Structure 1
Amino acid sequence: MPSLSVRVETATLARVHKRLATLLQQATNLEPLMREAAQYMLNSTVNRIKRTRTAPDGERWAALSDITAQLKGHDRPLFQSGGLLGGIRIADISSDGFMITSDAPHSSYMQRGVKKMRGAFKSKRPSPQVPARSFMGFSDENVRRIGKMLRDHIKKGGGE
C-alpha cells in the first residue's frame, strides 16, 4: 500500500525561525539603509547639477535668456556663486525615510520657476520669467537603485 511520510526536524525549524527573526528585525531597522540612500541621493542631485544639467525626469533645463547670460557672464543655468550647489544637504534621516534640502535662498525659484518678475528686466510676455529648472527629485534610475539597496539590505541581514 502506498504511503506518505513527513518528518520535521526541530533543528531545521530553529534555523528557519532564527533567519525569519533576523529578516523581520532588519526590515524594521532601516536607518542604515536610509543613511546610505540619503547619501546616494545627495550625490545624485549634486551630479545632476554639475554634470547632466537635467531635471530628475531627464529633461534638459531651459537655456538662460540672453540678458541673464550677459549679466552672469556665462550661460550655465543654476551656477552663479556656488551657493545653490553648496546648500544641498541631508536634512533628516530616520528609519522610515530621509530628506534632502537646499539652504540656498533662491533654490525654490530654480526648482519651480518664477511666473512674475519685478524690476528693470520685467518683460510684457505672459510666459514664466524664470523657467523651472528642477534639480530635486527622484529619477527612474534613483528609484531602481534605492529599491536595489533595500533588497540588498534585507538579503544580507541588514549588516553595515
Structure 2
Amino acid sequence: MELSVTFDFSAITAIALRARNLDMTPPLRDASIYQEASTKVNFAKESSPDGQKWQDLKPATWLRKKSGSILREKSILVNSITHYPVGTNTWVVGTNVEYGLYHQKGVPSRNLPARTFLGFSQNDINQINQIFQRYVENIL
C-alpha cells in the first residue's frame, strides 16, 4: 500500500515573486501623508505624539505673544511640516525651519523646554501598519 501526496506551490511561488517586486511607494506616500496630518494635530492639541501636554509658557511670554497658542506665533513651524521622498524606499515627515529642532529637543541652557511635535504615537503606528497591510492585501 502506498500513499502519494502532490503539492502545487505555484500559487505561493507567484505570491512570493509579486511580494519581492512590490512597489512600496504608494503605502510609503500614504503613511507619510497620514503622519504629516497627525503631526499637525499635535500642534492643535499642544501635545507630544504620546499625548503629553507641552510645558506651558511663562506668564511674561504669554503677555508678549500675539497668538493664544504655544509654538504658533505666526504658524510658520506648523505650516512647514511636510512629507517628501528621499529615495526609493524612504519618505520623511519633518520641517526645514531651523528653530524647529530647538523646540523638538529643547535647549536647557536657554531655558527652552522640549515641546516634542514630531514622532509616532501608538495610534500612528497602528494606522500606518493598516495602510501597509491594506496595500499588500490588495496587491497579493
Structure 1 length normalisation: TM-score?
0.76
Query: Is 1:77–2:76 an aligned residue pair?
Result: no
Distance 1:15 1:23 in 2: 12
The equivalent of 1:53 in structure 2 is 46
Please report how far the alpha carbon of residue 93 of structure 1 lies from its aligned counterpart in structure 2 after TM superposition: 4.3
Letter in 2 for 1:31: T
Aligned residue runs from structure 1 range 1-160, under 5 A: 3-8=2-7, 12-26=8-22, 29-50=23-44, 52-117=45-110, 129-157=111-139
Distance 2:71 2:88 in 1: 32
**How many equivalent pairs are there?**
140
| Structure having the higher Rg | 1
Cα 1:152–1:84 change in 2 (3 A) is: same
| Identity between Structure 1 and Structure 2 (%) | 23
Please report how far the alpha carbon of residue 74 of structure 1 lies from its aligned counterpart in structure 2 after TM superposition: 4.4
Q: For the Cα contact (< 8 Å) 1:90–1:100, is it kept in 2?
A: yes
Distance 2:67 2:9 in 1: 68
Which consecutive residues of structure 1, in runs of 5 or more, have no partner in the other structure? 118-128
After TM superposition, what 4+ stretches of structure 1 lie above 3 angstroms from structure 2? Answer: 12-16
Distance 2:59 2:3 in 1: 83
Cα 1:106–1:151 change in 2 (3 A) is: same
Q: For the Cα contact (< 8 Å) 2:66–2:73, is it kept in 1?
A: no
Question: What's the RMSD between the two structures over aligned residues?
Answer: 2.0
